Structure 1
Amino acid sequence: MPGRSGPLSAVRSKLDTDSPLSAPTLRWGLLAVAVGAVVAALITVLLSGFDSGRVEAHTPGGAQPTGAVAGAAFGTAKQGDCLSWSKGNASDLVKVECGSKHLFEVTADIDLSKYPGREFGPGSRFPDSLRFSELRDEHCVSAAQTYLGGKFDPRGKFVVGLINPGEAGWKAGERTLRCGLQVTGSAGTATHPIAGSVRSTNQSKVFDVGTCVGIARNLPTDPVECTQPHAFEIVSTVDLGARFPGGPPTKEDQDKVMEDQCAKDSTDYLGSPDALRNKTLTLFWDFLDTRSWLAGSQSLNCLIGKGADQEGFATITGSARGDLQIDGQAPVPPPNNGRYTPPPLPGAAPPVIPQPR
């Protein structure tokens, strides 16, 4: 019964009656949970200027004080420092212990005054968000790799960010930027707390069991209360590292483990082997590529949702553990007449049904 197309796998419940979900679209749909990593490249979040971006990275001996206008915490932040704020413009940015919740972990400081040419010289114009994004991509990605000992997972929960001194600080002559790691929302602007140093945190992009992930335009967004519209609900987290101690498993091998484990976990989560069928829901999971695996990301979520009539996910309200609605309607259990052949997922071969003799 498994259907596959690309890195996303799905297994339909035995009596699931709808399967309009395009597998390539579903792949993007699931990965859209991490879309902040892409969108953040185009958006500036003003702290005293907060953008998600290197020229010369200074780490030995700590950063020299800079950023009198941007603030002392920003101006003295060095590699390994953790920063947090509560205001939307981050004007209250402070250093905090990395063991406590924080929003940004500094991987390097960048001195743009060392940049060749006059682009960032005295009196130069404050760069736009695109230029800061270019600087982030040029310098902060490698800084993240160095900071994590070459084990940064580009598909994991953390994204590379950049804090700049803001326009006021820039006009005052401040040219030092801070590269770092953070967790962003689906729009790329909101940041989510990090508990503990990134260096000692599993980078797997997984959610806590029972989490519901919101929906917009049929694609997943960020965690929401399950009473709110959402795309899917997390059933369990599976540690594939314990199953494959010898090295990165193939997608096919991952699928075999995830199919069995997700089926078992969904039954345990919903309290009945028939609940998934009766609620007309589908099991889904992603896969781990070699880069993620070697970076230490070895966990995946089992999740339950439903395909939309056209593409992407249908909108669910309410937890699958209780009463829920799918696109505004209560699910209607399919007839249980002893035999049912579910429509295959796109790209999957029709199941072979033994014929009676």
Structure 2
Amino acid sequence: MSDEHANERDASGRGDDARLDTEATRDSGTPSADKPGHHLSATMTRRALAAIALGAIIAAIATAVFSGGFKSENDLSTHANTGGPMSTGAVSGSAFGTAHAGDCLTWTEDDASDLEKVDCSSEHLFEVASEVDLSNFPGTEFGPGSKFPGVLRFSQLRDEHCTPAVNEYLGAKFDPNGKFSVGLINPGVAGWAAGERTLRCGLQYSGTTGNPQPIYGTVAGQDQSKTWDAGTCIGINQNVPTDPVPCTDPHAFEVISLVDLGAKFTGGFPDIPDQDKYLEETCTQASNEFLGSPDALRNKTLTLFWDNIDLTSWLAGSRKVTCSVGKELDTGGFASIVNSAKGDILINGAPPIPPPPVPEGRSLPVPLPGAGN
């Protein structure tokens, strides 16, 4: 996931930016007479947003392999060690056994037993990048009669073989912080028992909860930025963001704008302070337009925050970030919001209480710039 910044506006309009990394960020301190109401901690936002990245990592591991296996036992045959991948037809229709780099696969069953090839322009769940034939490995670990590997071992094989294969397949244009993750499809228990030892490495779009999300088009032909359209609400589970849900359901935050940094920065990679300077203005304007007025964010006690793109993602071709609004908890993580921020909302089950008005003649401080790398 890309770095996240939060423009946390308290009752006075003052903001602190928090970035998702290990560096310290500025904090404007405790509430004062100039800042009536509750001040939101930058550290807590960073912690909460880090949980999103952690959830994505867990999801990538959970969906990397189908440990339940493909259960079709039709036309299974022993995999001979001939020096190259072979098909056993371990999946009905032989889609698994004949899938090669560039093929796109989809399924509807939990065990992927109905896996089939589809045109990459249509909805699919997996894009094949390479094949790995474990029968060529030395030793007896994957030999005839060997035990079906567990999820951890398949995850190791994915990291060892699929990650470099995906980078080669995309010509070093894979964004490790983007919406796509490296995946692996194994032949399943039935295929393994019949002697199938070929794995398929590829790309998938993993939801935070571990469910694969639809992909349209080849990965190489699109921006890999992890973004959602404006108006998308991201669910919540134990104060941690999950996957998109209807805004009438409890959620952690709502996307208010999608910003293409490539349209602004045409001369090369913009450093984080330059991104923040542009996004502070752009996201604030988007918030005013999305919520209906400049006072709505403050009156609804919401937090405005945005993504950043790092150099690795930029070199991979990612250019898009999102501006979003949510509500921090003092204890860390996000509060539960119901309904779109455009209208009347509930925060943890209650309507937000607007902070006291700012005294006349007192100017609002300019939000602090984001912490640099």
Q: Same fold (TM over 0.5)?
A: yes
Unaligned runs of 5+ in 2: 1-13, 29-33, 72-83
**Residues in 1 aligned to 2:323 and 2:348: alpha-carbon distance in whole angstroms:** 22
Aligned to 2:16: 3
**Letter aligned with residue 191 of structure 2:** G
1:173 matches 2:183: no
Matched letter for residue 175 of structure 1: R
TM superposition shift of 1:248: 1.4
Distance in structure 2 (CA, Å) of the matches to 1:299 and 1:16: 35
Q: After superposition, where does 1:78-157 map in structure 2 within 5 Å? A: 78-157=100-179
Contact 2:19 2:370 in 1 (8 A): no
Q: CA deviation at 1:200?
A: 0.5
1:127-159 deviations in whole A, cap 9, x for unaligned?
011000000000111111111110101000000
1:241-273: CA deviations, max 9, x gaps?
121112111111111011000000111111212
Instruction: Supply the distance in 1 between the matched residues of 2:27 and 2:270 (Cα, whole angstroms).
Output: 19
Which of residues 203, 217, 229 in structure 1 aligns to 2:224? 203
Please, which of 349, 354, 359 is the counterpart of residue 328 of structure 1?
349
- Aligned twin of 2:4: none
Residues 85 and 93 in structure 1, CA contact (< 8 A), matched pair in contact too? yes
User: How many angstroms apart in 2 are the aligned matches of 1:10 and 1:91?
Assistant: 52
**Taking every aligned residue pair, what percent have the same amino acid on both sides?**
51
Aligned to 1:18: 38
Provide the C-alpha distance between the structure 1 equivalents of 2:154 and 2:293, rounded to a whole number of angstroms. Answer: 52
Residue 261 (structure 2) pairs with residue 240 (structure 1): yes
Distance 1:85 1:66 in 2: 19
TM-score normalised by the chain length of structure 1 = 0.86
1:212-266 residue CA offsets vs partner (Å, 9 max, x unmatched): 0011121111100001111100010111112111211111111101100000011
Contact 1:40–1:187 (Cα < 8 Å) also in 2: no
Matched residue, 2:90: 69
The alpha carbon displacement at 1:346 in A equals: 11
> What SS does structure 1 have at the residue aligned with 2:109?
coil
**Residues of 1 paired with 2:45 and 2:246: CA distance?**
22
Structure 2 vs 1, CA of residues 73 and 277 (structure 1 numbering), >3 Å: closer, same or farther? same
2:60 equivalent in structure 1: 40
Moved more, 285-294 or 27-36: 27-36
Query: Which whole-Å CA distance do the structure 1 matches of 2:195 and 2:311 have between them?
Result: 44
Find the aligned partners of 2:245 and 2:281 in 1 and give their Cα distance: 28
- Across the aligned residues of Structure 1 and Structure 2, the Cα RMSD in angstroms comes to 2.9
Are 2:49 and 1:30 equivalent residues in the alignment?
yes
Q: State the distance in 1 between where 2:45 and 2:148 align.
A: 40
Which amino acid in the other structure matches residue 49 of structure 2?
A: L
